[in-house]
Amino acid sequence: MILEKMHPDCLQAPLRLDFDDDALIANWTTLDRLSGAARAGAAIKANGYGTGAAHVAPLLLRAGCRDFFVAHWGELADVLPALEPGMVSVLHGPLFESDVAYARHSGVKPVINSLEQARRWIASGGGRCDLMVDTGMNRLGVAMEQLGNEVLQGLDVDLLISHLVAAEEDTPLNERQRQRWREACQIVAHQRASLANSAGIALGEAYHGQVTRPGIALYGGVPRAEMAPVIRPVVRPQAALLQVRDIAAGETVGYNATFTASTAMRVGTVALGYADGYLRCWSGKGVLRSPGGCALPVLGRVSMDLTIVDLSAAPDLLEGDWLSVDYALEEAARTTGLSQYELLTLLGRRFRR
């Protein structure tokens, strides 16, 4: 039978993520240039911030990136086919013995976050690693007062890392953290140092060290206003029209009848909902666009798998036609109250990447 020879991956998905390879490469190149004497790495954790790490990693490698950062050990499966293990750092560090064994076997670098992780790594035989120092976030990292502990002297530290709390803001916290990071660099032997994330790059050379770690800006996010002119959008969600219909004045649309048509109108239902990361905060606010660029406002309440749009501006659209979602991250964050990070990482697995 034909079905026996088919795999679900052969089916055309009604959701797809339009990805601009050239924009990703251009963003990394720009961030590398803005990093001055430092070299830009790349945070590709959380499935490349929701865009598809397996696709992102080889593009960034081709652009010239040589330092990559994931959060979980389980994220390595998507990126190691394209990258040399020694290029990749796992930010959460060696929590379990299986993490230690895998790092030693593969050559992937664990990021040591605590004295206990340091002991665990050294007891296994040690080797090259990175070290996270907490300079004010109180999240992950060795505390400043622990830096003189003798166990850290047994580490072979490549990158000495810290993470900025509020680099997107002009706050005294930035300088306070920079000074603590510089102090840590004087105490702990290391090959290279890294402090700046995407927003931190814009704070200037004093925050760069030898490696910067951009994340959101690679994928089209704008963490600081001065970066807006040089960062290009990378992804745009697209959804297929499942059904079109004409409704009369007075009819309602969607759950809880939150929209009532004031006149007769044509509406369309698309295969997109909050299960795909298009959350209910888009209800009555979102805009999709026809292939010709006509604005199609979201009507009523976004549901789990479906969203209804006003087709008045493009009445000739039919089932199976593709619509693009207005999803410029900076503007979308203002519209929804979600962060640019949430907007990207919420994009669900049903999007064909």
- Take residue 52 and report the two structure tokens written for it: 């598809």
Q: What pairs with residue 194 in β-bridges? A: 161
Contacts with 179 (C-beta within 8 Å, 6 or more apart), sequence order: none
Upper half-sphere CA count for residue 92 (Cβ side, 13 Å): 12
Contacts with 171 (C-beta within 8 Å, 6 or more apart), sequence order: none
Q: pLDDT tens digits for the chain (353 residues)?
A: 455 566 666 678 999 999 999 999 999 999 999 999 999 999 999 999 999 999 999 999 999 999 999 999 999 999 999 999 999 999 999 999 999 999 999 999 999 999 999 999 999 999 999 999 999 999 999 999 999 999 999 999 999 999 999 999 999 999 999 999 999 999 999 999 999 999 999 999 999 999 999 999 999 999 999 999 999 999 999 999 999 999 999 999 999 999 999 999 999 999 999 999 999 999 999 999 999 999 999 999 999 999 999 999 999 999 999 999 999 999 999 999 999 999 999 999 999 98
Q: What pairs with residue 235 in β-bridges? A: 19
Contact 173, 166 (CB under 8 A): yes
Residue 31 amino acid letter: L
Strands 235-247 and 15-19: antiparallel
**What is the 3-state composition of the chain as percent helix, strand, coil, each rounded to the nearest 5?**
35, 20, 40
Contact 122, 138 (CB under 8 A): no
Instruction: Specify the 3-state DSSP secondary structure of 9.
Output: helix
Contacts with 338 (C-beta within 8 Å, 6 or more apart), sequence order: 279, 281, 332, 346
Residue 193 amino acid letter: A
Give the separation between CA 56 and CA 65, rounded to whole angstroms. 11
Contacts with 36 (C-beta within 8 Å, 6 or more apart), sequence order: 205, 208
**Which one of the listed residues 5, 49, 207, 255 is annotated catalytic?**
255
Backbone angles phi, psi at 326, to 5 degrees: -65, 115
Q: What's the pLDDT at 353? A: 86
Rounded to two decimals, the pTM is 0.94
Give the count of beta carbons closer than 10 Å to the beta carbon of residue 97.
11
207 is catalytic: no
Give the separation between CA 88 and CA 86, rounded to whole angstroms. 6
Strands in the chain per DSSP E: 15-19, 39-40, 42-43, 68-70, 88-90, 109-112, 128-134, 142-143, 156-161, 192-194, 211-212, 235-247, 252-253, 259-260, 265-270, 287-289, 295-299, 307-310, 322-325
5 is catalytic: no
Contact 135, 184 (CB under 8 A): yes
Q: What's the pLDDT at 1? A: 47
- Take residue 324 and report the two structure tokens written for it: 């693009």
Backbone angles phi, psi at 202, to 5 degrees: -75, -10
**Which one of the listed residues 5, 45, 102, 109 is annotated catalytic?**
45
Domains in the chain (CATH in brackets) are 21-230 (3.20.20.10), 235-345 (2.40.37.10)
Of 222, 249, 180, 214, the C-alpha closest to 67 is 214
